[in-house]
Amino acid sequence: MRWKAFALAALTLVSAPAVAETARTGSGMVQGVTSDGLTVYKGVPFAAPPIGRLRWRPPQPVAAWRGVRKTEAFAPACMQTGVSMPGETPPTTSEDCLYLNIWKPAISGSKKLAVLVKIYGGGFTSGSAAMPLYWGDRLARRDIIVVTFGYRLGPFGFLAHPELTAESPVHSSGNYGLLDQVAALEWVKRNIAAFGGDPTRVTIVGQSAGGNSVSILMASPLSKGLFQRAIAESGGLFEPLRLAPNYQLTNAEKEGVSYASSLGANTLAELRALPADALLKGRVATISHPVIEPYLLPASPYDAFVTGAQNEVPLLVGSNANEAGAMISNLDSVRADSFEADIKKQFGNLPPELFAAYPHTTDAQARQARLGFERDLRFGWDMWAWARLQAGKGRNPVYYYHFTQSPPFPQGSLYQNWGASHFAELWYVFDHLDQEKWNWTRADRNLADAMSGYWVNFAKTGDPNGPGLPVWPAFKGDDGGVQYLGETISPGAVANLQALQGFDKAYDQVRGTPFGSAP
């Protein structure tokens, strides 16, 4: 009988229902779910739904509510095309998407915890704050709070148009998705203390387009004081703007007019009258980039750093050894005789000096050259440039990494042979190896433990170093001090330095000034 009583008590403990926890925000009370030592709030509104008359306007405050609002389910992702990661299950979408999610330890005592705010990637055309890989359940167990949020994408988030500029009190348009990011950070600053968070220890972290967003937020006057540290993985905007003329407001407005015409809309009123699904047709691909405009982004991140106008915080940045493994779908089609023409067709008329750093005499050479070229063009040079600018112009340290681990992507899967590709570090950063039933090794698990530890330490203190971790030196702008993150974790020289220096020479010619010099 005593055995039966013990068994029944144990069963009761295992199957006990999740407990509700509440917090008071500026708009009203919210109720999350506490289970297994964590409390999770899903679908907390941080701005009014950007629909109807609020489409293509800056995010507006949330209407207050009475009583307790249950936040137990993720909100839909923002309207988008495609998915942010190959193989991802397409999320449910809606134009009503400005919500955030919070993971926190269930018991944090009286101390206020550091806050890590994740900005998703997806080329500014796709992405979801509810993607399982970004869940904060593992990191929150290390005594921090993790926040993810939605922001408008594609034509909903980045449409510039002369009529939008004319109606704007700040004489600007575009960047609505970036304004959403600022609004989410403002919400965190005002409200996170109610969840046990410290509003003076907020770290923004982004990968790919999320990393681009981090560079923009460091350059934007609107985000000053909203975060105290920044992490960017494989994404930043530091190339010469002459190579991206459509980022300028006047040209972005022309793109917007062309996009509207492709939908049969001749006026802004006609555009606003279209249903959300219709806006994902037409020339959508052109409306997926930030805009240099006078309000949120008056200068590019490169110019902001060169002139010392950036938001000054500690920085952690880096990229992966085989970024382009996930980008090139048919590497076997790359040939030596069409190498340069194929790249120009995809990326435009790039300076010829860039090709010299990637020998491509034979087809075998050309395939490796294409992987290296796209790795450095899209990600490698930007992160190296950003680290050097912070080391030379900033007052706070920069920690620079090179991720080399090849996850055990299964043969026959979409990811086979990708290696240390774009996206690959995310499983390790969020300590989510167990989300995939792959043949993870002890080295994989050690690296996930170390990387999640580095990221959490940085969120807490602005320094990734801590007990039990290999020492990570601050990057000084020279050839050393890059932390290699792989089976072996140790500092080393800048990877692919000769090729990166080729980009430096080419970009110096485009700008007309040496790297790091004021215009």
* Active-site entry in 239, 323, 340, 374: 323
User: In this structure, are residues 124 and 157 in contact, taking their beta carbons and an 8 Å threshold?
Assistant: yes
Q: DSSP letter at 192?
A: G
* Active-site entry in 161, 360, 402, 422: 422
| β-strands 489-492, 482-485 pairing | antiparallel
Question: How many residues in total does the chain contain?
Answer: 519
* Active-site entry in 84, 126, 173, 208: 208
Q: Given phi > 0 = left and psi -120 to 50 = alpha, else beta, which region is 441? A: beta
User: In this structure, are residues 281 and 263 in contact, taking their beta carbons and an 8 Å threshold?
Assistant: yes
Question: What residue type is assigned to position 151 of the chain?
Answer: Y
| Tally of CA atoms within 13 A in the half-sphere of 137 that contains its CB | 17
Exposure class string for 388-411: b at 16+ Cβ within 10 A, else e = bbbbebbeebbbbbbbbbbbebee
Helix (H) or strand (E) holding 255: helix 249-262
Instruction: Give the chain's end-to-end CA distance (angstroms, integer).
Output: 84
The alpha helices in 263-399, defined as continuous H runs, are: 268-273, 301-306, 339-347, 353-356, 363-375, 381-393
Exposed, middle or buried by CB within 10 Å (0-12, 13-18, 19+), for 16? exposed
157 is written with which tokens? Answer: 């988030």
d(CA 101, CA 154): 22
200 is written with which tokens? Answer: 């003076």
Q: DSSP letter at 410?
A: P
Q: Coil, strand or helix: which one is 189?
A: helix
Contacting residues for 89 by C-beta, under 8 A, at least 6 apart = 83
The question of whether 323 is a catalytic residue gets the answer yes
Question: What residue type is assigned to position 465 of the chain?
Answer: N
Cα angle at 21 between 19 and 26, to 5 degrees?
160
User: In this structure, are residues 475 and 481 in contact, taking their beta carbons and an 8 Å threshold?
Assistant: yes
| β-strands 398-403, 315-320 pairing | parallel
User: In this structure, are residues 417 and 330 in contact, taking their beta carbons and an 8 Å threshold?
Assistant: no
Catalytic residues: 208, 323, 422
